[in-house]
Amino acid sequence: MTPHAANDRRLRPAASGRLSGWVPATALLLAMTTSCTGSASGDDSAAGPRPGAAGVGDRLFPALGNGGYDVAHYGLTLDYVPENNRLKGTAVITARATQDLSRFNLDLSGLRVRTATVQGAKAQFSREKDELRVTPAKPVKDGDIFKTVVTYDGTPRTIENDDGGLEGWIETDDGATALGQPAGSMTWFPGNHHPSDKATYDITVTVPKDEDGDPYDVVGNGELTAQEDNGDSVTRHWRTEEPMAGYLAHISVGYFEIDKGRTDDDLPVYVAIDPDESEDAADVKDLVPEIVGWASRRFGPYPFSSTGAIVDHLPDLDYALETQTKPYFDEAPDETLLVHELAHQWFGNSVTPRQWKDMWLNEGLATYAEWLWEEEHGGRDTDQIFEDFYDGTDSESEGIWAFAPADPPSAARVSDPPVYGRGAMVVHELRKAVGDETFFDILRTWTRQHRHGNADTRQFIALCEARSGKNLTKLFDVWLFNKEKPSRTK
């Protein structure tokens, strides 16, 4: 096999300045208050309803997400016209208030908001940069479940980052695709777009037939629960019943060859391939169930109710993304990249970082899955891959010593090589320290304990120490937290 660049998403800050945006200290304080207790305490409650924070206080992306509520469900009804790239949407957002709210924010970039209601009553709204501020007619009480409906339309934005990388709503040669890491989902629906607020989704998309009267396909996360032919348009309804972080929400509109199957564990498999990639991607439909079965035996039960892949034809994009249940590929992936994105279904999608600085838990573990796959499929063994990263002979090892994997210096660098390659080296050092049996027990316990939730580095280390009975402070200090390239400890 020929391992190659794991051409996975490399996070970049948005050129709009949204991601490095200034956030008032008071907003951060409010976010901290709500995340600690879920409700106002002491003097605050005497002060009555107050605005939800404009960000959740992510250290690297302080303006992402919003405080004061937790979203339980997004119901998105979208009309999309590929010919002129126009989107019309209704978002029904069901959330629970975590404080008395006089108003609250939703993240939304571009598009024109037409109406907003909260609990059926007309709400006031205003826009500022990528924040939609909603003021309900009556304050929402702490603990109340409330429904917000926003109608909107326009030409959805593509976010072009400093180095030319694209996210958000991206037109393809036969439709469009929506990619949300880290902030692109706000270009096609309003929401709480930080990974710490996961929710279930129903996404219904209607697209007119093309000029020949042929229907477009619409492929999304989760399961296809309904499809209708309306004469001159088609409607597809995709449902995600397990919690999903906003950055993993996805739809692709275009022409696809669809292959449906089952894994050995009877899990539905849905593979959509752009006809321009069908020859190169011929093995994807067989590899997906094989890799999912392999990974389930190592990492624990597959966490979602279906799996699959979307192979589009958008080679200029130059990355793949682990969109939930069906990773998205800009062109036919090789085996290694498929392993990486499918491993993210456990590491990142089911167990999601609480803050973006813990990205190494996604990328280090998904990269280590590549190493394990190679070792078990006739390639180098993991000791050798580790050596090749250490001495720089592996092509993926370039730049891995730039900073400590657990401490990306800025939002712009949160997806740089240390988070991937050196992150995988941390995992290998852990495996050597605790032995194979305990190592795989740690991984399976991790995916079980935090299934469909959020977790952080501190919790990972605590679990490693608890399951192994060893003090691993030095190992993690040297490999995870220290910037210096560790000396050899053979």
Determine the interface stretch with Zn ion among 8-16, 93-101, 329-337, 397-405 (rule: CB under 5 A).
Answer: 8-16
As a whole number of angstroms, the distance between CA 389 and CA 425 comes to 8
Please give the C-alpha separations between residue 150 and each of 87, 91, 113, 123, in angstroms, as whole numbers. Answer: 14, 5, 7, 10
Residues 288 and 304: beta-carbon distance below 8 Å: no
- At its nearest, how many Å lie between Zn ion and the CB of residue 252? 19
- From the list 63-71, 163-171, 357-365, 371-379, the region that binds Zn ion by CB under 5 A is 357-365
Minimum distance between the CB of residue 189 and Zn ion, rounded to whole angstroms? Answer: 23
Phi, psi of 207, rounded to the nearest 5 degrees: -130, 130
Only segment of 58-66, 175-183, 360-368, 463-471 that touches Zn ion (CB under 5 A): 360-368
Residue in the shown chain whose Cβ atom is closest to Zn ion: 8
Q: Contacts with Zn ion: how many residues (CB under 5 A)?
A: 3
Angstrom distances, CA of residue 11 to CA of 52, 320, 353, 415: 27, 12, 14, 5
Q: Which is nearer to Zn ion, 105 or 367 (CB)?
A: 367
409 CB-side CA count, 13 A: 9
Residues 6+ apart with CB under 8 A from 34: 52, 53, 67, 68, 98, 99
**Please, which residue, 8 or 331, has the CB nearer to Zn ion?**
8
- CB of 146 or CB of 319, closer to Zn ion: 319
Closest approach of Zn ion to the CB of residue 443, in Å: 16
User: How far apart are the C-alpha atoms of 26 and 271, rounded to whole Å?
Assistant: 47
Q: Does 416 bind Zn ion (CB under 5 A)?
A: no
Alpha-carbon distance 345 to 54, whole Å? 29
Q: Whole-number minimum distance, CB 8 to Zn ion, in Å? A: 3
CB 177 within 8 A of CB 188: no
Tell me if 8 contacts Zn ion by CB under 5 A. Answer: yes
Residue 370 makes contact with Zn ion by CB under 5 A: no
Residue 50 and residue 33: Cα distance in Å, rounded?
13
DSSP-derived pairing of the beta strands 233-244 and 199-208: antiparallel
Q: Could you tell me the smallest distance in angstroms from the CB atom of residue 405 to Zn ion?
A: 13
* Least spacing, CB of residue 365 vs Zn ion, in Å: 9
* Closest CB to Zn ion among residues 113, 419: 419
Cβ proximity to Zn ion: between 366 and 442 the closer is 366
Residue 8 or 276 having the CB closest to Zn ion:
8
Q: Which stretch binds Zn ion (CB under 5 A): 5-13, 114-122, 170-178, 246-254?
A: 5-13
Nearest approach, Cβ of 36 to Zn ion (angstroms)? 31
User: Is position 249 an interface residue for Zn ion (rule: CB under 5 A)?
Assistant: no
| CB of 8 or CB of 374, closer to Zn ion | 8
Contact string 127-166 vs Zn ion (x = CB under 5 A): ----------------------------------------
| Closer residue to Zn ion (CB): 237 or 250 | 250
Task: Determine the Cα–Cα distance for residues 371 and 6; give it in Å rounded to an integer.
Answer: 11
Q: What is the dihedral of CA 163, 480, 468, 291, to 10 degrees?
A: 20
Residues in 387-406 that interact with Zn ion by CB under 5 A: none
**Least distance CB 490 / Zn ion (angstroms):** 30
Between 191 and 423, name the residue whose CB sits nearer to Zn ion.
423
Contact range with Zn ion by CB under 5 A, out of 142-150, 265-273, 296-304, 359-367: 359-367
Question: What is the CB-side half-sphere exposure of residue 302 using CA atoms within 13 A?
Answer: 24
Nearer to Zn ion, 5 or 258 (CB): 5
Q: Is 366 in the site for Zn ion (CB under 5 A)?
A: yes
CB of 319 to Zn ion, least distance (A): 9
Which residues contact Zn ion by CB under 5 A?
8, 363, 366
